[in-house]
Amino acid sequence: MAKKEILPLKQETDIVLIRQRVRQSAEVAKLGLVSQTKIVTAASEIARNALIYGGGGECVIEDTARNGRSAVHLVITDQGKGIEDINKAMVDGYTSGNGLGLGLSGAKRLVDEFAIESAPGKGTRVELWKWR
């Protein structure tokens, strides 16, 4: 059941591929249409962050289960300059670039479990879970 795939995240078109693969995993996990849309949207936001602010990285997509429920598990990492103040970065509307500042905070609201690890100079790792 557990199937793991590693996708590169080096250019904009990779975000589209990640969205498509996350959609497939969400279908495999038999998520409802709204849940599918939410995890795909969250993945898109985080992947774009990793590409634009983190200079790219990779996305690990895993078809798995959580507490007996089928689930999609994503880990998106980059080796960029990292986030100095994660609490600040998680606030709606905060952006260090020219985005809307909804990527991290919005993605967190769209998934069942969200974890972020980052330190200056050490890149960023975001983990997303959505289960049935």
Partner 1 sequence: MVDKIPILKMGKYLLLSIQVDMHDQLALDLQEDLTNQIVKHRAKGVLIDISSLEIVDSFIGRMLSHIANVSRILDAKVIVVGMQPAVAITLVELGLSLDGIATALNVEKGMARLEQMVADDELLELARGEERDTSAKAGD
* Window 108-127: contact mask with partner 1 (x via CB under 8 A): -xx-----------------
The token pair at 87 is 């609490």
Contact flag: residue 92 with partner 1 (CB under 8 A) = yes
Cβ atoms within 10 Å, residue 110:
19
Under 8 Å between Cβ of 25 and 34: no
What are the backbone angles phi and psi of residue 46, rounded to the nearest 5°? -70, -40
From the list 100, 113, 121, 122, which residue makes contact with partner 1 (rule: CB under 8 A)? 100
As measured in angstroms, the least distance from the Cβ of 94 to partner 1 is: 12
Cβ atoms within 10 Å, residue 115:
12
As measured in angstroms, the least distance from the Cβ of 127 to partner 1 is: 18
* DSSP H stretches of helix in 29-70: 33-52
Spatial distance between the Cα atoms of 61 and 82, rounded to a whole number of angstroms: 22
From the list 9, 29, 40, 75, which residue makes contact with partner 1 (rule: CB under 8 A)? 40
Contact flag: residue 70 with partner 1 (CB under 8 A) = no
- Tell me which residues touch partner 1 (CB under 8 A): 12-13, 15-16, 19-20, 23, 33-34, 36-38, 40-41, 44-45, 48, 92, 99-100, 102-103, 105-107, 109-110
